[in-house]
Every structure is written in C-alpha cells, then in structure tokens.
Amino acid sequence: MSTRVFMHDSIGSTVNARESYNSNSSWFCHRLQGLKSRGVFYHDNPLEFGGPLLLAQLSISALLSAFAQFILTPLGESAFVSHMLVGILMGPTIWGKNNTFLGKLFPRTSFYVNETFGFFGCMLFMFLVGVRMDLGMISRTGRKAVAIGVFTVLFPVGINMVMASLLKKNVKLDPGVEKSLYFMAALQCISSFHVIGCVLADLKLLNSELGRLAASSSMISGIATWIWMVVGLTIRQSKYRGSTNNSLPWMFFSAMLMLMTIVCILRPIMHWMIRQTSEGKPIKESYIFYIFLMMLGCAFFSEIIGQHFMFGPIILGVALPDGPPLGSALVNKLESFVSSILLPTFFVFTGAGIDLASIHGLTFSIVELLALCSFVGKLLGTMLPSLYSKMSLMDAFSLGLIMSVQGITDVLMLQQAALLYIVDKQSYSMMLASMVLLTGTITPIVKFIYNPSKQYMSSKKRTIQQAASNSELRLLSCIYHQDNTPSMINLLKLSHPTTSNPICFYIVHLIELAGRLSPLLIYHRPDNRDQDSFQYSNQSDHIIKAFRQFELQKRGTLMVNLFTAVSPYATMHDEICTLALEKRVSMVILPFHKQWSLHGTEEFANQRIVNRNIIRKAPCSIGIFVDKRTLGVVTSVCRNFYNIGLIFIGGSDDREALALATRMSNHPDVAVTVIRVIDMNGKRSHSLERELDSDTVAEFKGSINNQKHHIYKEQLVNDSVDLVGVVRSVENSFHLIMVGRYHSSESPLFMRLTEWNEFPELGYLGDMLVASDSECEASVLVVQQQKIAGDVGSVNHRHLVDEFAVASTPRFNAQVWPLS
C-alpha cells in the first residue's frame, strides 16, 4: 500500500481529503496536535491547538454567516444562499489552494473535527425539519396541489433523462462525467418540502395563497423524490466495493425495521409523554433528554445499516407530534443554537469544497445544461397545471420559481452521492455552485414580482358607513390573549345586534407558530366536532366557550364563527386580511398592544407588528380598541347609561367612527355624545369632504330623534392648544371615547402634535388619549375607514402608518362598564 502525504493545509482541499481518505491506497498524515493551549503569555499559538482552533472556527463561521444574512436578506436572498456564499468566499475559488491565512485558520488537521461538528449540527437541524413537517397536509391537499406536485417531479426527470441520453450519444465526455451523467440528471430534479418551506418563510409568504399551494405541492413532490433517491442510493451502495451480494435485501429490511420501530414503539412513547404533561405546563426536561437519546440512537442505527445518518433522525422527527407541547419545546431549545452556530460551520466547509478554478469547460457546460433543463422542467410542471386551473400567468410563474429552489436537503443528497463515488469532484463542485446560483437568482425575482397583499386588495367599499342599516353587519375581531375576550364581548354588546340588524361576528384567536413549518387556520364547529384532533384547541377553549355562551344569550340576533390561526407573527396579517375579504367583513377590530391591569401596563411588541400590518393592508375598515379594564369608578357619569363620546373633526375616518356610533345609539342603555370640533380660522380645501361630513352628522342627528340621553354639540377652536383643551376636558367624562385615526398634520389644529406622537397607529387624537402623560381613564376606540388606492395618497398618512416609537410608562386604572 502506498503512502501519500498531503502538503496543502487549507480548507479548500475538503473534497480531496475525503476522496483520499476513502481510498485504500492513501494515508493522511499530520503532526499530533494538542487540545488545550497554555495561552499567548507562554508563547503558544492558540491556532495550533485543537480546542481554541475549533472555537475560533465556529465563531468566525457564525459571525460571517450572520453578517451575510444581514446584508442579503433585504435583497430577498435565503439563508441557504448566504451561508453557502460565505463558504465559497473562504474556499480555493477566491483564495487559491495554498493560501497562508486560510491554512492557519482552517488547517487540514482540523478538518474531520469541524466536519463532525457541522454534520452533528446538520443532523439536529434535519431532525427539527422532521418535527416541523405536517404529514396531515397530504390528506388536506387538493387536486391542483397534487397535480403540481406530480408534474414537478415527472417533467424535470423526463427532460433531464432525455437530455442525458442525447449527451451520452453525441458528446465525447470525460470517463468520470460519463459514468455519473444519469445520476447527475436525477440529482438536479430533487424537490424538498423543507427547502421550499424555508424559502417561503424567508420571503414571508407562508400565509399567502401562493405559499399554501407551494407548501402542499412540495409535500407531494418532496416525498416522491426522497423515496426514489433513498432507494436509488441504497441500490448503488449495495454495489459499493466490499459489499456482499445479498446486502441489498438486508439494507432494505433493516431500514423497514427501523421505520416500524419508530412508528410502532417510539411514537406511542412520545404520545404518552404528551398525555403526562398537564395543559399549559411545559414538557419535562427528562422527556426532552429521552427524545435526544432516541435521535442519537436512530442516527447510529442508520449508519450501521448503511443509510445516511440523517435518515433515522428525519423519520423520528416526522413521527414526533408537531406543535405544543413537545414539538415546540424541542424547536425552542435547539433551533437558535443549531441554526446560528453549528449549521453555518457545515455550510462553510461545504461551500469551501467548491473549487470553480479546477472545473473544465465541458463539465461546466454539461452540469449547467442539466440544471437549466431541470429548472425548465420544474417551471413547466408547475405552470401548466396552474394555468389549467385558471391561475394568473404571473402567479403561475412565481409558483414555478418557488418550486425550483434548492437547499440543504439537495446538498446532503449530493454529498452522499459523492461519498459513494456516484458523482466526481468536478461535477460535485459545479452542482453545488449551480444550486447557489439558481436559488440566489430565483428568490429576489419572486420577492420583486409577487405581492401577497394583492390577493386581498378590493376595489369595493366594505365599511360600516356603506353597510345598509337594515342588513347583516359583519365584523371580525382578533384575540391575542384570553384577557381580550371580555372587552370584545362588551364591545359587541354595544354594537346592538337585533333581529332586524343582526351581526355576524368572526373571532380569530391568533397563536404564534411554533414547532411546525406550515401555518394552520382551524374552524371551530358549533357542535365541537374534531376539536380534540387539534393540539391548539385547548389554548382556545376558554375563548370558544365565552363567545358560544354569549351567542346563546343573543340567539337569533348574533351568529359567532370561531377560528384559531397558527402562524408566524411576520405573516399573521395575511390570515386576517384574507379571511376579512372572503367573509365580506365591514370592520376588523384589533386589541391594542398595550394592556392595563392592577399591576401596571404590559406591552407586546409582536402584537404591535401584527396590528401595524393589518392597519396597512386590510380590505375593510379597522377599529383599534384600547381597553383600560374595569377597575375604578368614573366620576361625573350617570350610572343608568353606558356613556360613549365621539370627537368629530372631519374626514373619512371620523365619518366611519360616527357611523358606528350611530349604530350604537340604538342600544337602549347607551348614551352617545358627539362633539364636533370646528376650526374657526381654517378652511377645508375639499368642498366634497365638507358635504360628506355634514351629511353624516345630519344622519346621526336624524337617528337620535331628539332623545335626551343622546347629545350633539359643536366646539369652536382656533389652534392645537384649543383642541388639546377640548380633549382634556372630556377625557374622563365617558366610558368609551371614539375618534378617527387620520387627520392631516398640515391643519393648524394639529400643529406640533406630531412631535409628541407616541403611538402613531392610533393617530393624533388617539395618541393624545392613550399616551403616557394622559390622565384619560376611559377606553378608546380608534377607527380607520377602508383605504382604497388613491383615497389617501398623503405623505403624512404614510408617515403615520410606518413610523413607530415605543414608550413604556405606568398608567392610571380605569373602568369599562359591562352591559347586561
């Protein structure tokens, strides 16, 4: 046996090292390296010792990957592309094979230790991939998604195999390329649910119509490609040198044995762990430890039977119940460390294995041709069924691009193929580079051409003001916490549903997506069927019971429809806006992100983000409800009525608020006071606006029919000081104060008020009533009328929506009276 000593010590020789190590005629020799350094004060170089060197490599890989993500994510690039680019930039393509700096920082002696850490992180990551997969999506998949998933596999495989056959017949190829040509063609056609799901999450498209279709289709195509790739690699491995003639049946039998063990033994154990966990309680640490042992055991057994060591952990992850309490606990404990520290190391060493300088022109052309054919096949396989089902051309094209992306699972399959000598070094490097190039090109294009909010854009007015007074009113309310329930029920009572003016009320309990990749929208049936099949039902149980009880009290006048939306906060607004459009809702009511209690105030930043997105994109009117809770006794207010005050200055938002107040005035236990503020010095530029304001006020005055408990009065003001005085004089005279959200900052009445705008989402008046320096103890409802393109066009309006300042200060206690 010959001995071969490698002189190149940089990270760029990754693939060469693996090939040489696997060869029976090669040795890898290096100087014995110590583990722990005594420190620079003893003249020890930390980079010459295993421990400090490993820490330095992990730190640099994580830091550079995070920096690349920070730069590239706003451009629409996925995390996969950012990580791989860091690896390429640290490899021989940029620095050459004998770079001194990389030779010191990533010496050959550290290669196997670091690759072990990287693969361990990758194993944990793929285990979490399995945890977050929802196989139930397959049963819920429609015919369109099935057709797209099937054609996304058949088209690229068929085109690539035909192209590979033509190349083999008509082009003189290198022996290594010719041997692996059909495998290269097949590897280019891999599809993965996780890769597409991660891209959808990066682009914030999980809740969009396109995102849901892509996720369902990729589940079908991903399972199909994974099955035939695992089978193909197993057959190829059975022919690997040193294997016995009857190894193939044993490999398949062992794989099926492990699969049955996971499904029939380990999965029931995990369900038992969930049953032993009380509702609302975290999973025991001992259970988490046992899950880790199961994962390591499955990985070890996969290696024993000749499968990829990822095989067992992925199957175990899929078998593990997703969502809370077990799935979400595992994701919360592992995801951040694995994704931020361990996984970048894997990608850095993988990307560094790409040596574009060593690739011959013919190999480059062949790999790129197959990659292009695969891309065209996936694009056609997606677009043809989509266009047949009446999808728009641009949406079908965007979906085709999304279904063509590649990621970590493609890399793992390619590495396994390289390990089995199915793919040679040049093809391996070029295929990795083509993955980065293809995905890096696709995601920015999708971000640029596809706007998910267009699916719920409406040219039809859906407002309280436009709703007929003698027809059904449709409202939608978001619930973030159980504490929001009483205030929403009380507000619903104020809306006064009757047999002649019924209300259809949609309640959506919003829960952050954790422990799974695909979002959920659960409809809770009135007969409570199928409730136990959802692990999220327990979290919504008290909310459901409260609204069902209220519906029974208002039988015949109120219909309640309850949903639970499980989604990332970044895309939660898509769920609400889509539902509001589908149900033809006139107003969406949002709880304010700041909550008052006996112990002070609490703010929820994620809730504020969701509210902001809904305010900007809702296809109907918006109400932001600031609940001050039922704590003290408001003075100077008659106990016989629930007193509502409305400050009316003018504009579409004020008219919408007045339309809602007019409806509330029909309640026998409600007293409405409208204070119209008139600018003595200013002149409204739009006469049409003045006419609309006057007509709305006239409707209110006509509806109250001189009822003494309803009041309309006008207040003359000269400037912003007078306006503040009016607001301060009435802020504690009502239980609920209603205001419009948007008023022009150019008006003299709002001069300098923009400098003190603490909560821009509430507008100037709403902020004045809720800000830290306000003594207002009444609850506040801020109303925004539906904005159709071209309605507002004001720079100030956009500024008001986009700019947010956060302040947290204690508040006074307040009262909201419940109505009987």
Note the pLDDT of residue 57.
81
pLDDT of 373-386, one tens digit each? 999 999 999 999 98
Beta bridge partners of 642: 670
pLDDT band at 728 (very low <50, low <70, confident <90, very high): confident
Sign of CA dihedral 477, 482, 486, 487: negative
Stretch 351-380: mean pLDDT, rounded? 82
| pTM of structure | 0.77
pLDDT of 453-468, one tens digit each? 777 666 678 888 887 7
Q: Looking up tokens 């995070």, which residue turns up? A: 66
| Residue bearing the bigger pLDDT, 461 or 394 | 394
Q: CA–CA separation, 112 vs 351, rounded Å? A: 16
Burial of 422 (0-12, 13-18, 19+ CB in 10 A): buried
Q: Looking up tokens 């009533």, which residue turns up? A: 769
**Would you say residue 344 has pLDDT above 70?**
yes
Beta bridge partners of 253: none
Note the pLDDT of residue 556.
78
Task: Mean pLDDT check: name the lowest of 55-64, 262-271, 523-532.
Answer: 523-532
In the chain the first and final C-alpha atoms are separated, in Å, by 93
* Residue 665 DSSP code: T
Beta bridge partners of 522: 564
**Would you say residue 106 has pLDDT above 60?**
yes
Q: Are the beta carbons of 573 and 778 closer than 8 angstroms? A: no
pLDDT band at 817 (very low <50, low <70, confident <90, very high): very low
Calculate what percentage of the chain has a pLDDT beyond 90.
Answer: 5
Average pLDDT, the chain: 78
Q: Within 73-174, where are the H helices? A: 79-89, 92-95, 100-105, 111-132, 136-140, 143-170
Stretch 469-474: mean pLDDT, rounded? 80
What amino acid occupies position 413?
Answer: M
Q: CA–CA separation, 55 vs 300, rounded Å? A: 26
Domains along the chain with CATH numbers = 11-449 (1.20.1530.20), 473-802 (3.40.50.12370)
Note the pLDDT of residue 590.
92
pLDDT of 273-301, one tens digit each? 888 877 667 788 888 888 889 989 988 88
Note the pLDDT of residue 589.
92
pLDDT band at 34 (very low <50, low <70, confident <90, very high): low
| 702 three-state secondary structure | helix
| Residue bearing the bigger pLDDT, 630 or 544 | 544
**Would you say residue 668 has pLDDT above 50?**
yes
Reading the block at residue 427, the tokens are 């093809």
Task: Identify the CA nearest to 340 among candidates 551, 25, 67, 557.
Answer: 67
Calculate what percentage of the chain has a pLDDT beyond 70.
Answer: 81
Task: Mean pLDDT check: name the lowest of 142-146, 590-594, 736-740.
Answer: 142-146
pLDDT band at 528 (very low <50, low <70, confident <90, very high): low
Phi, psi dihedrals of residue 246, rounded to the nearest 5°: -100, 25
**Would you say residue 266 has pLDDT above 80?**
yes
pLDDT of 549-600, one tens digit each? 888 888 878 888 888 888 888 888 888 888 888 888 889 999 988 877 666 6
Beta bridge partners of 626: 780
Note the pLDDT of residue 622.
92
- Strand order, beta sheet including 558-567: 520-524, 558-567, 503-512, 473-479, 587-591, 621-626, 779-784, 736-740, 642-648, 670-679, 711-717
pLDDT band at 535 (very low <50, low <70, confident <90, very high): low
**Would you say residue 820 has pLDDT above 80?**
no
Q: CA–CA separation, 359 vs 165, rounded Å? A: 22
Determine the Cα angle at 712 with ends 708 and 713, to 5°.
125
- 463-468 long-range contacts (CB < 8 A, ≥24 apart) are 463/586, 463/587, 463/620, 463/621, 463/656, 463/659, 463/785, 463/786, 464/586, 464/587, 464/621, 464/656, 464/659, 464/660, 464/663, 465/655, 465/656, 465/659, 465/696, 465/785, 466/586, 467/586
pLDDT band at 477 (very low <50, low <70, confident <90, very high): very high
Concatenating the DSSP letter of every residue in 150-176 gives HHHHHHHHHHHHHHHHHHHHHS---HH
Q: CA–CA separation, 270 vs 131, rounded Å? A: 12
**Would you say residue 799 has pLDDT above 50?**
no
Task: Mean pLDDT check: name the lowest of 436-445, 479-488, 787-796.
Answer: 787-796
325 upstream amide cis, omega within 30 of 0: yes
Q: CA–CA separation, 230 vs 741, rounded Å? A: 58
pLDDT band at 76 (very low <50, low <70, confident <90, very high): confident
pLDDT band at 797 (very low <50, low <70, confident <90, very high): very low
* Residue 571 DSSP code: G
